[in-house]
Structure 1
Amino acid sequence: MDEMKIKNEIFEKIKKGLFEEAAQFDECDTDKIIKQIHDESFDQQNLTFYCFTIFMYKRTNNIDWLELAVDILCFSINWMEGAYAMALYHQREILEQNRNVENLQMMLFFYRVPDVDFEEEEAKKIAKEILELDPQNKIVKDIFPNL
């Protein structure tokens, strides 16, 4: 079966909420499937893609699925009320598992989002942690030039 047909079948199963069936792809294809779902979620803006990523995260404990969930919430369906709050929740979960510059920088994204409960004190604490790992970090310097 060709790759495009397989991809379309997976997307149709996801959109129908048939997550168990959609999850029957070869584990070595996970990175490719994540990328395809990422791209499709921007085209479709369908909540089921987010739900599927959470299903897959719970099933595999693969942090890549949780990172995809954050991306979908922040950049695909961010117009939905509560999307940023859920993304912040998931980003905090990601930090519990992998505290690196990239994940910390994503936390700073929420500092600039209106209506998200993310205080300046927490943002500065994270910014300082980033600077310990990457003293010339441009994102931190742009947000907090005097830090």
Structure 2
Amino acid sequence: MKNIKEIYNQKMRKMFTENMKSIFTKDMLKKYDENMLNVLKEVWIDILNVKYEEANKKIVNINKQEIYEIIWNMANVIESFTFYGFSQYMYKKTENVIWLNLSASLLSFTFCCVEGAYAVGIFHAREAVKIEKNLENLVTLLNFYGLPEYLTKDSKKSPASISGR
């Protein structure tokens, strides 16, 4: 079993290295030394292996906005639901609304093809606005503008009931 896990981790490390330009902005690549990039590579592996506490320990000193962008980009590269799980874990642990915004964004963009993702995403966005009404949270909520009415209103109508089925 360990052999399979190590092979998987090696493949994921390689994927991380191949996608560094997609994961980090140019400024981040200039700012982070090789040691820090290796730490973030291990954060990638920890999240994929659902070792959220270990990943959290490694990102504790990174600016929250930067880590938001990094996690967002990591999730977009590999499209693993473990990144959504990590954002929820971090929200539960820190109660920092940035993690609710990340959850909403992941569900509305990266995982939009998953049934119910938009509905849960808008729930997270609304919760963020209830907790802290600021421009960032309102913009996250605004991303849902134009979605089917049954998702954006407090209506109990489903798509089937709206279409008359």
Q: What's the TM-score, normalizing by structure 1? A: 0.72
Partner of 2:56: 23
Per the alignment, do residues 34 and 119 of structure 1 end up closer, same or farther by CA in structure 2, a change over 3 Å counting? closer
* TM-aligned CA deviation for residue 120 of structure 1: 9.6
- Superposed CA offset, 1:78-123 (max 9, x none): 11111101101101110111123443343343241237522399xx
Q: Which blocks of at least 5 consecutive residues in structure 1 are unaligned?
A: 122-147
Moved more, 105-114 or 94-103: 105-114
Partner of 2:101: 67
Per the alignment, do residues 120 and 24 of structure 1 end up closer, same or farther by CA in structure 2, a change over 3 Å counting? closer
Match of 2:46 among 13, 18, 40: 13
Partner of 2:86: 52
Letter in 2 for 1:78: C
Per the alignment, do residues 10 and 18 of structure 1 end up closer, same or farther by CA in structure 2, a change over 3 Å counting? same
Q: Which runs of 4+ in 1 moved over 3 A?
A: none
Match of 2:129 among 95, 99, 121: 95
Partner of 2:36: 3
Letter in 2 for 1:7: L
Matched, 1:38 2:72: yes
Match of 2:148 among 85, 109, 114: 114
RMSD: 2.2
Letter in 1 for 2:80: N
Partner of 1:84: 118
Conserved? CA contact 2:107–2:121, under 8 Å? yes
Conserved? CA contact 1:85–1:116, under 8 Å? no
Equivalenced residue count is 121
